[in-house]
Amino acid sequence: MFSQSMYQLGAKRSCIRELFEYGLRQAKVVGPENVFDFSIGNPSIPSPPAVGEAFTSLLIQEDPLTLHGYTPASGCEEARQAVAEDLTCRSGMTIRPQNLFFTCGAAPALISVIRALGVEEAEVVAFAPYFPEYRPFVESCGVRFVAVPADRETFLLPIGELEAYLTPHTQALIVNSPNNPSGVIYPRENLQALSELLERKSREYGHPIYIISDEPYRELVYDGAEVPFLPAIYPNTVICYSWSKSLSLPGERIGYVCVPDCAADSEELFSAVAGAARTTGHVCAPSLQQWVVGLCTAQRPDLEAYDRNRKDLYEGLTEMGYRCVRPQGAFYLFVQAPGGSAQAFSDRAKEKNLLVVPGDDFGCPDYFRLSTCVAHETIVGSLPIFRELIAEF
Amino acid sequence: MFSQSMYQLGAKRSCIRELFEYGLRQAKVVGPENVFDFSIGNPSIPSPPAVGEAFTSLLIQEDPLTLHGYTPASGCEEARQAVAEDLTCRSGMTIRPQNLFFTCGAAPALISVIRALGVEEAEVVAFAPYFPEYRPFVESCGVRFVAVPADRETFLLPIGELEAYLTPHTQALIVNSPNNPSGVIYPRENLQALSELLERKSREYGHPIYIISDEPYRELVYDGAEVPFLPAIYPNTVICYSWSKSLSLPGERIGYVCVPDCAADSEELFSAVAGAARTTGHVCAPSLQQWVVGLCTAQRPDLEAYDRNRKDLYEGLTEMGYRCVRPQGAFYLFVQAPGGSAQAFSDRAKEKNLLVVPGDDFGCPDYFRLSTCVAHETIVGSLPIFRELIAEF
C-alpha cells in the first residue's frame, strides 16, 4: 500500500554508494592503506579559506533573525545580486538577479527545470556517458528519458547521430561539461554544431528545444581549457549550477537555476521553474549558505592536487595500455574496460581491494569510472594492481 | 511549451507573501511604526544562544571536508543518533537512528511521505483549518486532496463527521498540532477517538491508513499544555518535523521524517520515503545544519515574548467582541471575521495598514489569521484599529 516505484528508487542502492561503503568496511579489515577507493566524487581538497571565514564572520556579525530567516523562494537579494554580477562579468552577457533561482544544490535545480518543461509526452535527451541520476530525475517527472549513445573515440557530442533521437516531443537536452564521468569539455565548435542543429529542429517543430546546462564542474578545469558559456552560443539555454565541487561544499546543498533573458519565454519559464520547485518542497535554499556563496563569488578551488592526480593516473594507465580520453576537467577518468565488461573488471578489481565504478548506469557498460579526488598515495598504490588486472583481462 | 500547472503554481503569488511584501512597501511610505503586519509566520525571537555557539564551534573545530561533505541521504550518523535519543527520552518509545530521514525542512518531508504513499487513486485527508500548502503538496503528487470542514466551535478534529470523508482509497490523514492557523492543540481524547476510528476503518478496508503528523510547532506550547506523542496513540503514524520554529532557523531548511518501528511496513515505507525524496532532488539535508541540530536537541525556544503577544492580542480582541478559540500553541490566532467574509475584512483592514490573512486558503473563508510573532508594539498599536473595524462590520 505504498508506491512501488518510490520503494524501488529507495531500496535499490546506488552502485557508487555500495562500493564506497564496501570500501569503508574493507578498510577496517585490511587497513585503509590497502584499499584503493576510486568510487565516489566527494571533493578531497577543503574549501578555500575565505569560505570558512565567510561562515564565521556572518555568524558573528549578522542579526540571527536575518541570517537564519526565510529568504524569498528565489533567494536573498544580496546573494542573487552578487552571483548575477559575477556571471555577467565572466560571461560578458547581462545576467540579472531576476534570472537566478537558488536551490538546494544541482539535483533539485535539474528536477525543477525538467518538471517545468514536463508537458504531455515530453522527452528529454541526455548524451552517454551521463550522470546516472539523470534517468530517475527525468522519469520521475513523467518525462521520457532518451539516451544518445557515446562517441567512444572522443566522448564529444555526437552531432551527426543526434538528429535521429530528436522528435517533436523533445523538450530539452541535458549537456554536462566538464563531463562526469569522462572529464571531457565540449569545445566551442562542438557546441556550435549542436546549436545549429537545435535551431533548425526548433524551427521545424515550431517550438523551442532547450538546453539544460548542468555545470557543477565549471571551475574544475585544467591545461587552461575553455568552458564556453552556453547561453552565448545557444540562447535557449538554462543553467543548473552547484557550489558542491567548486567550493568543496557538497553536503551544504547550495546551487541555482539561471534562466537568462535570451531564453525563449524566459519569464514564464522562470515562473514554471519556481512552481516546480514548490512541488519538490522547496521553500528557499539554506539561508546561511546563500549568504556565504554571495560573499565568495571570487573564490576558485585550488586545483593542484586534482591536477596531479589526473596526470599521474592518466599517464600511468595509458602507459600500461589502458584506453582513456585525456580529461580536461572535473575529477574523473573514464577508462575502457579490458575484456569489454566493466562489471567483470570491477568485480575482479574489488577482490584486490581496488574499487572502480562500472559504467553501466552511465550508459557505457564497457567503461569504468575512476574518481581522482583521492589521496595521491591511492594513485601510486593502485598502479601495480591496475597492471596485474590488464594482464589478466 | 512548458507545464501550465507548474507555471500556475509559480506565477500565483501566495496571499501571505503578497500581504507581507505590501507591508514592506507600505512601511516605506507611512513609516514602519504605522504598519501593523500580522501576515507572516517568521519567528521573531532569535535562536537560543547555544545554536549560534554550535555553528561557530563546529566551523572552528571540525575538519571542513567532514563538516561540509556529503552525508548519507538519511543524515549523518551522529545527528540521527542524538535526535533518536532525544525522541526516545521524551516519548518513552524507542526511536532508533534508522527511523529518521533528515530533510531540507518539513515541506520536503511531507512531500516525500505523501509521494511514498501515492498509489493509484490515493487520497489524503486534511482537516480545516489547514496550512494552505498541503493542497499543492498533495495534488502535485497526483493524489486527491480531501478537506474535512472545521468544527468552528472548537477547531478540534471532527471525528463524527470524518467517517464520511474516508474511502478505501484513503492512504493518510495529515494532523497538524499545535495547529497553524488556529493554535489549537488536539487533546489526548480527541486523538484517541481518531485512532479508534482509523483502526476500525483500516480493518474494514484491509490496509493501514497512516497519520502524517506535521509537528513544526511541537515545542511552541503555552499554559503547560500537553502535545501527545501520536505514534504512542496510533502506531501507523509518520512524523514530519522541522527546527524552523523551535530553534528559529526557518531559512536553514532542516527537518526530518520519522517512520517509527510500530508503523505498518515500517522498513518498506522508509525506503519508499527515501525513494520519493530522491525524486525531489534530495541528496542530503544541509550538512552543517545537521551537525548543529545534533548538538542542540536539548535546546528549547524562549517563549515569553510569544506568550505575552498571544495573551494580549487574544484578550484585547475577545474583549471587543471578536470570536476566537484561545490558542494553546504555535504563534497564530484564527479569528472569525465580523461580517462573515474574511477577504472583505482583510481588504478593509489593509486600507488602515493592518495586514491580516483571509482564511480562504486555510479552508475557512469566514476566518482570518493573525501571526503573533511580531513586536509587542504592533499588538498594542493594532488594537484601536481592530476596534474601528468591528464597529464597521
B3 and A112 within 8 Å at the Cβ level: the answer is no
Alpha-carbon distances of B330 from A83, B42, B327, rounded to whole Å: 36, 12, 8
Which A positions 355-384 lie with beta carbon below 8 A of chain B? Answer: none
Q: How far is B226 from chain A (nearest CA, A)?
A: 28
Dig out the grid coordinates for A238 from the structure: 538554462
Q: How far is B321 from chain A (nearest CA, A)?
A: 34
Q: How would residue B17 be classed by pLDDT, with cut points 50, 70 and 90?
A: confident
Tell me: the pLDDT tens digits for A353-384?
Answer: 999 999 999 999 999 999 999 999 999 999 99
A52 and B59 within 8 Å at the Cβ level: the answer is yes
Catalogue the long-range contacts made by A57-64 (C-beta closer than 8 Å, 24 or more residues apart): A58/A288, A58/A291, A58/A292, A58/A295, A59/A288, A59/B52, A59/B55, A59/B56, A59/B59, A60/B56, A62/A291, A63/B46, A64/B46, A64/B47, A64/B52, A64/B248
pLDDT, mean of residues B27-51:
94
Please give the pLDDT value at position A281. 97
Please classify residue A143 by burial: count the beta carbons closer than 10 Å to its beta carbon, then call 0-12 exposed, 13-18 middle and 19+ buried.
buried
Contacts of B1 in chain A (CB under 8 A): 117, 119, 171, 207-208, 265
Q: Touching check for B103 and chain A: CB below 8 Å?
A: yes
Dig out the grid coordinates for A347 from the structure: 568485480
Tell me: the pLDDT tens digits for B68-103?
Answer: 999 999 999 999 999 999 999 999 999 999 999 999
**Predicted TM-score (pTM) of this structure:** 0.97
A71 and B9 within 8 Å at the Cβ level: the answer is no
Length reported for chain B: 393
Segments in chain B forming alpha helices (H): 4-11, 15-30, 49-61, 64-67, 77-91, 106-116, 134-140, 159-162, 188-205, 230-233, 266-278, 287-295, 304-320, 342-351, 376-392
Please give the pLDDT value at position A14. 80
Tell me: the pLDDT tens digits for A210-264?
Answer: 999 999 999 999 999 999 999 999 999 999 999 999 999 999 999 999 999 999 9
Q: How far is B49 from chain A (nearest CA, A)?
A: 10
Residue in A with minimal Cα distance to B48: A64
Q: Touching check for B164 and chain A: CB below 8 Å?
A: no
Q: How would residue B330 be classed by pLDDT, with cut points 50, 70 and 90?
A: very high
Q: What are phi and psi of B379, to 5 degrees?
A: -60, -55
Q: Touching check for A167 and chain B: CB below 8 Å?
A: no
CA distance A332 to A306: 10
Tell me: the pLDDT tens digits for A43-56?
Answer: 999 999 999 999 99
Average pLDDT, chain A: 96
Please classify residue B150 by burial: count the beta carbons closer than 10 Å to its beta carbon, then call 0-12 exposed, 13-18 middle and 19+ buried.
buried
Structure letter (DSSP) for residue B97: G
Q: How would residue A194 be classed by pLDDT, with cut points 50, 70 and 90?
A: very high
Tell me: the pLDDT tens digits for A87-115?
Answer: 999 999 999 999 999 999 999 999 999 99
CA distance B3 to A122: 10
How much of chain A, in percent, has pLDDT values that exceed 70?
100
Alpha-carbon distances of A38 from A10, A82, A129, A150, B368, rounded to whole Å: 24, 36, 18, 22, 58
Task: Classify residue A299 as left (phi > 0), alpha (psi -120 to 50) or beta.
Answer: beta
B285 and A117 within 8 Å at the Cβ level: the answer is no
Dig out the grid coordinates for A263 from the structure: 531564453
Residue in B with minimal Cα distance to A254: B286
pLDDT, mean of residues A150-158:
97
Q: Touching check for A8 and chain B: CB below 8 Å?
A: yes
pLDDT, mean of residues B4-10:
93
B13 pLDDT above the threshold of 80 = no
Residue in A with minimal Cα distance to B171: A1
Cβ contacts of residue B330 below 8 Å, gap of 6+? B178, B179, B180, B183, B217, B220, B245
CA distance A161 to A246: 33
Residue in A with minimal Cα distance to B245: A69
* Nearest CB neighbour to B7, from listed A137, A272, A277: A272
Give chain B's end-to-end CA distance (angstroms, integer).
47
Please give the pLDDT value at position B1. 82
A43 and B65 within 8 Å at the Cβ level: the answer is yes
- Nearest CA to B307 among B323, B326, B325, B331? B331
Please give the pLDDT value at position A216. 97
Instruction: Kindly write down the DSSP assignment for every residue of A4-54, as one continuous string.
Output: HHHHHHHHS--HHHHHHHHHHHHHHHH-GGG-EE-------SPPPHHHHHH
A7-21, A23-37, B231-245, B377-391: least confident range: A7-21
Please give the pLDDT value at position A12. 86
Alpha-carbon distances of A111 from A212, A318, B104, B299, rounded to whole Å: 11, 37, 16, 35
Q: How would residue A13 be classed by pLDDT, with cut points 50, 70 and 90?
A: confident
pLDDT, mean of residues B252-270:
98
B275 and A10 within 8 Å at the Cβ level: the answer is yes
Cβ contacts of residue B77 below 8 Å, gap of 6+? B97
Which A positions 50-89 lie with beta carbon below 8 A of chain B? Answer: 52, 55-56, 59-60, 63-65, 67-71
A104 and B273 within 8 Å at the Cβ level: the answer is no
Average pLDDT, chain B: 96
Please give the pLDDT value at position A15. 86
A280 pLDDT above the threshold of 80 = yes
Alpha-carbon distances of B345 from A218, B317, B340, B341, B390, rounded to whole Å: 53, 15, 8, 6, 9
Domains, chain A, in order of start with CATH, read: 4-47+302-392 (3.90.1150.10), 50-295 (3.40.640.10)
* Nearest CB neighbour to A248, from listed B68, B111, B171: B68
CA distance B325 to B41: 19
Give SS3 for A263: coil
